[in-house]
Amino acid sequence: MEKEKKEKSFEVTPYEVKGVLDDAEYERLMKEFGINPINKQLLDRIKKHTKELHFMLNRGVFFAHRDMDWLLNEYEKGNKFFLYTGRAPSGETHIGHLVPWVFTKWLQDKFGCELWFQFPDDEKFMFKQNLSYEEVQKYTYENMLDVIALGFNPKKTHFILDTKHAGLLYPEAIKVAKKITFSTVKAVFGFTNDTNIGSIFYTSMQTVPAFLPSVLAKKNIPCLIPLGVDQDPHFRITRDILPKLGYYKPAIIHSKFLSGLKLYGGKMSTSDSDSTIWTTDTPEQVKKKIMKHAFSGGQSTIEEHRKKGGNPDIDVAYQWLYFFFEPDDKKIKKIHDDYKSGKMLSGELKAYLVEKINAFLKEHQKNRELAKKQIDKFIFKV
Ligand code: TRP
């Protein structure tokens, strides 16, 4: 036990992700959080309903879950679930944010689900000293455009903004808050006596959309939450409390993080623009950042690379293709093999990634413009 603690090189909470997360660290995180690996049996079960599997499932980008078997049992009995995810608008959107959302859209399409998407414009306002309420409102708008641009079904997607929908959320949030003690949130989030009281209350707001559709429908509806694994601690609290209020525990499916450009396994961060690709970056900016900063698993000279080959396992450009930008299994395998054998050079791998990202962003930025006229359709009408 003691030994394990000393070796631990990461820290993952909703308010801090530190250290390098490689496969071994994700394994350890699963044990620490008490979440289950997604195994072949579960994949087959999902595939029975979706006919094909999203590459993020096949490749372990979504790697862990809670209660997926229960959710599918209910589904097979005809008890359909809804989806719930969210984004605290604390800055512009980067491509790492898009990973769970792209997968959520796939789930919506395959299972025909309603999606409740929360923009907690209270959360980061409370947690970040230098973030003003006005800035948060601006980012809420910008972030909504990115979500809409991914193509969610406007008839089945409902945006919840915490301050705008306060009248709807608050009566439910207080029921949750009444069941959470300060010592629980201290232990789960690492709060201290110096933490402001808004931050202490916040997790109750994040719980509400996990049962709000059941409140509105006046019957219990199962919920599935796709999320980045750092968000799991909030929903450990949710899962503890909802049965006490008479609702189902939500099921959860967890994704890994897309690395920042400069270090394999480091979470993409909003504070280092050189390490991050924003959804509004120009093709030139993308090219410059990738060529200059993407951490490479290649050798230092061409001769050496041809001889020894590169290491895709620690190469950020390769990881981005694998996680997101090259869904084609045959193509990604060829890239992997060619890079490893030395046939493909690091510069060629990066150039391929630049091309892929720029093609994606061209489409995304076009959809983002169109999204400006659609926002009203997505915001939930009470
Ligand atoms: N706390 C999340 C963030 O920092 C936002 C969020 C709200 C969320 N509800 C969620 C994320 C549900 C995943 C699932 O961005």
100 lines ligand 1 (CB under 6 A): no
Token match 């990461």: residue? 10
120 lines ligand 1 (CB under 6 A): yes
User: Which of 123, 101, 62 has the alpha carbon at shortest distance from 252?
Assistant: 62
Query: Which pLDDT belongs to residue 60?
Result: 97
Beta partners for residue 85, in sequence order: 117
In testing the pocket of ligand 1, which one of 224, 227, 269 has its CB within 8 Å of the most ligand atoms?
227
The chain-wide mean pLDDT, for the chain, equals 95
Dist CA 170 CA 176 (whole Å):
10
162 lines ligand 1 (CB under 6 A): no
How far is the centre of ligand 1, averaged over its atoms, from the C-alpha of 291 (Å)?
A: 32
User: What pLDDT digit, counting tens, does each position of 81-132 carry?
Assistant: 999 999 999 999 999 999 999 999 999 999 999 999 999 999 999 999 999 9
Query: Which pLDDT belongs to residue 272?
Result: 84
Burial bucket for residue 293 (CB in 10 Å: 0-12, 13-18, 19+): middle
Answer yes or no: are the C-beta atoms of 267 and 257 closer than 8 Å. yes
Query: Which pLDDT belongs to residue 18?
Result: 85
Token match 């008490």: residue? 34
Hey, what are 3's tokens?
């030994």
Dist CA 223 CA 213 (whole Å):
9
Q: Are strands 223-228 and 82-86 parallel, antiparallel or unpaired?
A: parallel
Show the domains of the chain with their CATH numbers.
Answer: 2-256 (3.40.50.620), 273-370 (1.10.240.10)
Regions of the chain with pLDDT less than 70: 1-9
pTM: 0.96
Token match 């994606």: residue? 360
Residue 92 has φ and ψ, to the nearest 5°, of -70, 165
Instruction: Transcribe 58-110 into DSSP letters.
Output: HTTSEEEEESHHHHHHHHHTT---EEEEE---SS--BHHHHHHHHHHHHHHHH
| Sequence-ordered strand ranges (E) for the chain | 11-13, 16-18, 36-37, 62-66, 82-86, 115-119, 157-161, 223-228, 251-255
How far is the centre of ligand 1, averaged over its atoms, from the C-alpha of 233 (Å)?
A: 11
Give the number of other CB atoms < 10 A from CB of residue 265: 21
Token match 């590169």: residue? 310
Answer yes or no: are the C-beta atoms of 342 and 307 closer than 8 Å. yes
Residue 137 has φ and ψ, to the nearest 5°, of -65, -40
- Protein residue closest via CA to atom 14 of ligand 1: 85
Q: What is the DSSP secondary structure assignment for residue 160, as one 8-state letter?
A: E
